[in-house]
Amino acid sequence: MKRFYLLLLLTLLIIPGVIYAFNQDLTERLHGYILLQVDQHGEAWYVRDTDDKRYYMANGDAAYSMMRFFSLGITDADLATIPSVSDTTEMLASASACDYNSLANSLKGKILLQVEQHGEAWYIYPDRCRMIYMEDGAAAYTIMRFLGLGIADNDLAQIEMGKVDGYTEVQYDDSTSIDPNETSESTAVSWPSDIGTSHFGRLTEFGRIDSQLEGGWVRPHSGPFVWDWIEGTQGTYQWDQADEVVASLQGDRQAILATIWGFANWDQEQCHDSSDDTNNGFIRTMDWMHAPCDESAYLAWLSDVVERYDGDGVDDMPGLEYPVRHWEIFNEPSMQDGTVFFQDDAQTYAELLAVSYEAILAADSNAIVLPAGQAGMHASSVAYWDNVLGEISGVFDIGNIHSISSSNVFWSDDYRDYLDDFGYADTDFWVTEALVGDFSQNLSDDDAAQLTFTSYVNAFANGASVIFNVGAHDPTGGPGEASEETFEMMAAFIGAFSRVERMDDTTVLFQLPDGTTVYAIWDGASLPNGVTGTMSVLEYDGDSYQAEADHVTSTIPLFVY
């Protein structure tokens, strides 16, 4: 079914001097939605159903004020009957509950406050009738923007603008608008020595899941490098959302793996119709997720994106602190049942990867390109990638595998062999989605923490260069707090290791940059022969002590050094 987005972007005849009458039908259809002003800089507006007016959400403070002034109190019992999601990714991938949950349907678009608790705020997304928790003003602002719908200025003008009394509101003023395509002189920036030094990273979601691993990596998922979000109307760029994400992640001194999502509705509708809808596509607002209809338009956009964040001082994002150098071309293209990430065959993706690689390197010769993450080593995924890797050569720099609760070593052994078989023996690989365990295991929190230790150690020993923890980003909540604590301990202790060597099935050696040798041992393993003296021991749960080398036995996973 076509989303409201297409309706909102219908071009109307603009006649100078015309004053638009307020459109009641349009306003009612958009009750409770967040609208993003695509003809300007993505300014956010909330459409309130009680007075048929739109309200400007300038920032987190404004969003917080709206939570206070526009909210509706609700009891815990009533709240418990409304289906919830943990993040915007889960929201956009979920099915609508509007047809079967009458309470949620009657409250869709509302901001609810838990009156029997501490006034926790929830927003019911009207397109799904599911609620999402808004921890504070900043989270509310980010969540609502990610769930927003694009709207043209002339459509927005047909909804009356309101003003909230009782707090200081940042008023919208279009007289100061600037050309979103306008660029200014920039100063070239280089890759700092403290960025990307770790072998650990996180899957993040702006406004909900962040990461501050020392020297660590982040893979913002799913946005913000979505063609439709940046160039929602052909020839008009809106950089604010992508810039905001980049600035925030760079503020935490994280290296960014940027996923390119090359889908724009205005492009896709050129060669697809309603019979080709995804129905369950992953990216919000997208009706189709095929290879671009107008390849030249896609490549022009892709070049502009890379140019904006390459740090060469030409047409760069204002305030860019260091380059975005690592680019991933789409995501899990073999996933075409259930949640859809791509709708075309392997040969089509292979061609798209090749032309994307050329465009990225032409814009930034220092760029590093990854193919889309391979969805594990399951038979269907391998069959798809057999046809991709059989079609291309030399159009990516680092391999890319995903392991979502499907392999206790994150497929690292099988994927290394797989790349070798296709002639990529000298090519590193990353695990850009890693979730410990598998769906057949019933793990306690402690079991998950121990498995986190052994999974990461084994995957590094098998050749994985960087591993991105899915953890709390997973819709289920991930493997739990104890697992997260083990992950963070490992990232802090061995994150920047300079060498890794497997000694046997239960012993792996890590060399740290300062020359320290660290042994990871588990399943009853002892230290190798020849290691003597007093050793420092760091357990998987963070506890530490000292012991003589010949007395150290790994009844639980240990680092010993």
Q: Cα(506)–Cα(528) distance, rounded to whole angstroms? A: 11
- Residue-range definition of the domain harbouring residue 50: 4-168
Q: Is residue 352 part of a domain?
A: no
453 inside domain: no
The half-sphere exposure of 532 on its side-chain side, counting CA atoms within 13 A, is 1
pLDDT of residue 164: 58
**Whether residues 56 and 116 fall in one domain:** yes
The answer on 214 and 137 residing in a single domain is no
| Same domain for 39 and 157 | yes
Q: Is 446 inside a domain boundary?
A: no
Strand partners, 544: 538
Q: What is the pLDDT of residue 183?
A: 46
Same domain (yes/no): 15, 162 = yes
Whether residue 196 has pLDDT greater than 90: yes
User: In the Cβ-directed half-sphere of 536, how many Cα atoms lie within 13 Å?
Assistant: 9
Q: Are 462 and 430 in contact (CB under 8 A)?
A: no
Cβ 254 vs Cβ 213: under 8 Å: yes
The span from the CA of 457 to the CA of 95, in Å, is: 38
* pLDDT on residue 560: 98
231 in the same domain as 154: no
pLDDT for the residue 202: 95
Most confident of 267-281, 330-344, 439-453, 466-480: 330-344
Do both 152 and 272 map to the same domain? no
Q: Is 228 helix (H, G, I), strand (E, B) or coil?
A: helix
8 and 153 belong to one structural domain: yes
Q: Are residues 42 and 92 in the same domain?
A: yes
**163 and 41 part of one domain:** yes
Sheet holding 130-134, edge to edge: 72-74, 111-114, 121-125, 130-134, 84-85
Among 287, 313, 344, the domain-final residue is 344
Q: What is the pLDDT of residue 401?
A: 98
| pTM, two decimal places | 0.70
**Does residue 224 have a cis peptide bond before it, meaning omega lies within 30 degrees of 0?**
yes
Residues 18 and 164 in one domain: yes
Which ranges of 214-372 would DSSP assign to H, the alpha helix? 227-230, 240-251, 265-268, 295-309, 346-363
pLDDT tens-digit series, residues 242-255: 999 999 999 999 99
**With bands split at pLDDT 50, 70 and 90, how would you rate the model's confidence at 62?**
low
pLDDT digits (tens, 9 = 90+) for 347-369: 999 999 999 999 999 999 999 99
400 SS3 class: strand
Q: Tell whether 369 is covered by a domain.
A: no
Distances (CA, A) of 372 to 256, 353, 375, 381, 482: 15, 9, 9, 12, 30
Read off the pLDDT of residues 425-442 as tens digits, 9 standing for 90 and up: 999 999 999 999 765 667
| Percent of the chain clearing pLDDT 90 (strictly above) | 63
Asked whether 130 and 33 are in contact (CB, 8 A), the reply is no
Per the model's pLDDT, the better-predicted residue between 28 and 59 turns out to be 28
In a domain, 55, yes or no: yes
The residue among 467, 406, 452, 412 whose CA lies nearest residue 557 is 452
Retrieve residue 370's tokens. Answer: 């990854």
Phi, psi of 549 (to 5 degrees): -55, -40
Lowest mean pLDDT among 65-74, 448-457, 485-494, 537-546: 65-74
Q: Is the pLDDT of residue 398 over 50?
A: yes
Helices and strands, number each (H, E), in the chain: 17, 25
Element (H, E) at 445: helix 445-461
Residue 118 has a CB neighbour count (10 Å cut-off) of 7
Phi-psi region of 338 (alpha: psi -120 to 50; beta: other; left: phi over 0): left
In a domain, 110, yes or no: yes
Q: Is residue 250 part of a domain?
A: yes
Which token pair is 406? 């499907």
Question: What average pLDDT does the segment 475-503 reach?
Answer: 93
Q: How many residues does the chain have?
A: 561
Q: Which of 307, 323, 344 is the last residue of a domain?
A: 344
CB 167 within 8 A of CB 299: no
What's the pLDDT at 64? Answer: 62
Q: Which helix (H) or strand (E) element contains residue 204?
A: strand 200-204
Number of domains in the chain: 2
Q: Cα–Cα distance between 205 and 435 in angstroms, integer?
A: 16
Same domain, 247 and 129: no
What's the chain's average pLDDT?
87
Residue 333's Cβ-count burial label (10 Å; 0-12, 13-18, 19+) is buried
The answer on 299 and 224 residing in a single domain is: yes
- Residue 224 in this model has a pLDDT that exceeds 70: yes
148 in a domain, yes or no? yes
**pLDDT of 166 strictly over 50:** no
